[in-house]
Amino acid sequence: FGKPCQAPTNPMLALLLELCAVLVPPPPVRGASRFFLDTADVREWKALLPLGIFHGVTTNPVLLERAGVRCTVGECHRLARTAFELGAAEFMAQAWGGDTDSLVASGLALRSANPERIVVKVPVTADGTAAAARL
């Protein structure tokens, strides 16, 4: 696909890129991958997060239902707090709604409790993709 990456020919740009690489370290990760528990079952989190190999927890409306958790913003915020208390660095929650506007609204509400650590996912549908562009 296209041309291979090349080093910048402008010396000032090359220097700036080198400085950025030193001054802005990459986020901490475990190797080249980050692993997430894909469940809303807190009992599983309590058993598996202490192993130290999981970066966080990810869930969605189906997993919430399976775990007997209501699919509400408040319940997701409660789950996020629990996940963080158990050592998760990030909590991912999927937005819900029947159209783009409702997906955006639920996504913004989900993220509001801790924007630095709560990641919003959207379904890969036409409305979900449009919502992702707005989130």
Predicted confidence (pLDDT) per residue in 36-73, tens digit: 999 999 999 999 999 999 999 999 999 999 999 999 99
Residue 37: enclosing H or E segment and its boundaries? strand 36-38
- pLDDT on residue 68: 96
Instruction: Give the CA-trace dihedral at 62, 64, 65, 66, to 10 degrees.
Output: 80
- pLDDT on residue 33: 87
- pLDDT on residue 3: 45
- pLDDT class for 1, splitting at 50, 70, 90? very low
Proportion of the chain above pLDDT 70, given as a percent: 77
